[in-house]
């Protein structure tokens, strides 16, 4: 069955609606960065760049490094943007734009997020790197899709009980990273973590400027939660959405976090740009080494 023009929106030049890119514009290994200004900070290390396109906050560069074709794309902030980016990237490789039909042969993508994050454990220092082995999503994105019963139901139940989770909020969900891709990116320089994905930067992460928060003790509850030696390590705003949609669409995904803040100690990195650049170089090296 062909997808209706209202569902699969294709621009006049044949590109996908929001991202403004063609199927041939992307590699099968794609780096996600939130900030559009971070895209050239990644692609400057490429040996060659063949594609440079942008629309709204979505900037895409595709090129080669050490013989490997790579794409880096800015997603913007939040799982709502991840919903757009991941669905449209999947459409580019798994839907025939001429017939508007889903292809019989599935093309898997390798998706690596390179992002910033804040630790909620005092022993995780600023400027360190963390790979999200698990992600717990407070965003509710997964619940809008048909998905199989989670393998982490007991963990979710324990978390909701520990935090006295408000029924007005979306029920949390937990997703694991792709172990095969994670193995390629692991080293002694990066720790594994359990990442919380929030729906916002201020109240959802326990910050209060002029508005009060629903649960002033939420961050303390998050940092004190433990289930079978598993503790929540850090907070950010995209990982659970990346893991959830990648899992449903049969893509491989890993989220790498540069810890710029420690919410437990109140510290913030004195060299955030340098720390992020180090994570970019680390990621590119691991992806392109034999």
- The per-residue pLDDT for 11 is 96
pLDDT above 80 for 149: no
**pLDDT-based confidence at 206, cuts 50/70/90?**
confident
State mean pLDDT over 46-57: 97
Tens-digit pLDDT profile for residues 150-180: 789 999 999 999 999 999 999 999 999 999 9
pLDDT for the residue 175? 96
How does the average pLDDT of the chain come out, rounded?
A: 95
For the stretch 23-40, pLDDT in tens is 999 999 999 999 999 999
In the predicted model, is pLDDT for residue 290 greater than 80? no
Mean per-residue pLDDT, 136-150: 90
- Find the mean pLDDT for residues 256-284: 95
Q: Give percent of the chain above pLDDT 90.
A: 93
**What proportion of the chain, given as a percentage, has pLDDT over 70?**
100
Position 166 scores a pLDDT of 94
* Predicted pLDDT of residue 41: 97
pTM of the predicted model, to two decimals? 0.95
- Confidence at residue 252, expressed as pLDDT on a 0 to 100 scale: 98
pLDDT of residue 1: 85
- DSSP, residue by residue, the chain: -PPPTTTS-B-TTS-BTTT---GGG--SEEEEESSGGGHHHHHTTSSEEEEEEEETTEEEEEEEETTEEEEEEE--SSHHHHHHHHHHHHHHHHEETTTTEE-SS----EEEEEEEEEE-STTS-TT-EEEEEEEEESS-GGGGS--PPPTTHHHHHHHHHHHT--TTSPPPEEEEPPHHHHHHH--TTEEEEEEEE-S-SSGGGT--SSS--S-TTHHHHHHH-EETTEE--EEESSHHHHHHHHHHHT-EEEEEEEEEEETTTTEE-S-HHHHHHHHHHHHHHHHH--
Residue range 35-55: average pLDDT? 97
């Amino acid at each position: 069955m062909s997808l209706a023009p209202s569902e699969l929106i294709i621009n006049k030049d044949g590109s996908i609606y929001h991202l403004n890119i063609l199927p041939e514009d992307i590699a099968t290994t794609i780096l996600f960065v939130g900030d559009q200004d971070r895209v050239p900070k990644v692609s400057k290390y490429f040996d060659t760049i063949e594609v440079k396109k942008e629309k709204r906050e979505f900037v895409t560069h595709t090129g080669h490094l050490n013989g490997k074709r790579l794409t880096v794309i800015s997603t913007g902030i939040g799982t709502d943007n991840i919903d757009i980016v991941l669905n449209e990237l999947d459409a580019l490789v798994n839907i025939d734009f001429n017939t508007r039909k889903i292809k019989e042969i599935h093309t898997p993508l390798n998706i690596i997020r390179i992002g910033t994050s804040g630790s909620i454990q005092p022993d995780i220092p600023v400027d360190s790197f963390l790979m999200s082995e698990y992600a717990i999503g407070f965003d509710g994105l997964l619940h809008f899709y048909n998905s199989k019963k989670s393998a982490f139901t007991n963990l979710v139940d324990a978390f909701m009980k520990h935090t006295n989770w408000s029924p007005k909020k979306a029920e949390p969900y937990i997703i694991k990273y792709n172990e095969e891709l994670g193995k390629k990116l692991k080293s002694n320089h990066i720790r594994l973590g359990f990442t919380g994905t929030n729906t916002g930067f201020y109240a959802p992460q326990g910050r209060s400027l002029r508005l009060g928060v629903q649960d002033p003790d939420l961050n303390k509850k998050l940092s004190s939660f433990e289930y079978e030696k598993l503790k929540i390590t850090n907070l950010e705003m995209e990982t659970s959405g990346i893991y959830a949609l990648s899992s449903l669409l049969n893509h491989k995904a890993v989220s790498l976090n540069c810890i710029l803040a420690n919410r437990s100690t109140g510290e913030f990195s004195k060299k955030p740009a340098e720390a992020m650049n180090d994570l970019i170089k680390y990621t590119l090296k691991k992806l392109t080494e034999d």
